[in-house]
């Protein structure tokens, strides 16, 4: 089991990143909430991880906060919710905001997340109502540096939204509506996801 990794950030391609740990390159999938707080490429970073073994392969997921990993693991136990949907949820809302949605029984807000239909939203509300109260915001894993500015932020944002489950046309539309001059990819994605969850 791999529970934590510390190493040099080699590449960022949301939702994937490549981390060099003593010469071994680990490819991780991360929610956008983690990408927002990553340092520049070439800097060191520490992430808590979730190691998943399935019939079709092995995956490693990275998180900036322990609370994000805890929510990810809780979501995976809900029937009909896979890793992609769990990452989409964590990319669109904070742990505290998600807990508030569940406790308020707000299935309409949950259905705005890609991959969550009405039945899955209802299942999440029923199965997690008593479990999300203990998650809290949690403490961050110490990170260094600031966010890098990619060469083409809009294209990177479109790719990241597609990787999170949005259709290509929807991803392009969301980015066009959210992007402002000078925004980096993380800022565009953050605004696009926030707008999508409010509509």
Give the phi and the psi of residue 146 in degrees, each rounded to 5. Answer: -125, 175
**The CATH fold of domain 153-198:** Helicase, Ruva Protein; domain 3 (1.10.8)
Q: What is the pLDDT of residue 73?
A: 93
Q: What average pLDDT score do residues 134-157 get? A: 52
Our CA angle for 122, 123, 128, nearest 5°, is 105
pLDDT for residue 141 is more than 80: no
Percent of the chain with pLDDT over 70: 90
Q: What is the DSSP string of 20-31?
A: EETTEEEEEE--
pLDDT for residue 156 is more than 80: yes
pLDDT for residue 144 is more than 80: no
Percent of the chain with pLDDT over 90: 30
Q: Report how far residue 25's alpha carbon sits from residue 123's, in angstroms, rounded to the nearest whole number.
A: 37
pTM reported for the whole predicted model: 0.69
- Give the range among 48-62, 64-78, 148-162, 172-186 with minimum mean pLDDT: 148-162
Task: Choose among 59, 65, 56: nearest CA to 84.
Answer: 59
Q: What confidence tier does 5 reach under pLDDT thresholds 50, 70, 90?
A: very high
Q: Which CATH superfamily is domain 67-134 in?
A: 5' to 3' exonuclease, C-terminal subdomain (1.10.150.20)
Q: Parallel, antiparallel, or unpaired for β 44-54 and 24-29?
A: unpaired
Residues 6+ apart with CB under 8 A from 34: 47, 62, 63, 64, 68
Position with higher pLDDT, 5 vs 143? 5
Q: What confidence tier does 140 reach under pLDDT thresholds 50, 70, 90?
A: very low
Name the average pLDDT for the chain.
Answer: 83
Q: What average pLDDT score do residues 65-93 get? A: 89
Gap between the terminal Cα atoms of the chain: 40
Report domain extents, the chain.
4-63, 67-134, 153-198
**The CATH fold of domain 4-63:** OB fold (Dihydrolipoamide Acetyltransferase, E2P) (2.40.50)
Could you read off the pLDDT of 25-56 as tens digits, one per residue? 999 999 988 988 899 999 999 999 999 988 88
């Amino acid at each position: 089991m791999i529970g934590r990794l510390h190493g040099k950030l080699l590449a960022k391609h949301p939702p994937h990143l490549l981390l060099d740990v003593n010469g071994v390159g680990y490819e991780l999938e991360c929610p956008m909430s983690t990408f927002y707080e990553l340092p520049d490429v070439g800097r060191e970073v520490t992430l808590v991880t979730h190691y998943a073994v399935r019939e079709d392969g092995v995956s490693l997921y990275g998180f900036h906060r322990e609370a994000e990993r805890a929510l990810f693991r809780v979501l995976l136990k809900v029937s009909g919710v896979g890793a992609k949907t769990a990452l989409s949820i964590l990319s669109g809302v904070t742990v505290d905001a998600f807990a508030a949605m569940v406790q308020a029984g707000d299935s309409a807000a949950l259905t705005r997340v890609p991959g969550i239909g009405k039945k899955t939203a209802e299942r999440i509300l029923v199965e997690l109502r008593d479990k999300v109260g203990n998650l809290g915001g949690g403490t961050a894993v110490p990170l260094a540096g600031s966010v890098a500015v990619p060469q083409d932020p809009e294209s990177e944002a479109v790719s990241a939204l597609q990787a999170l489950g949005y259709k290509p046309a929807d991803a392009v539309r969301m980015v066009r509506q959210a992007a402002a001059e000078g925004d980096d990819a993380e800022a565009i994605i953050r605004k696009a996801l926030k707008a999508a969850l409010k509509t």
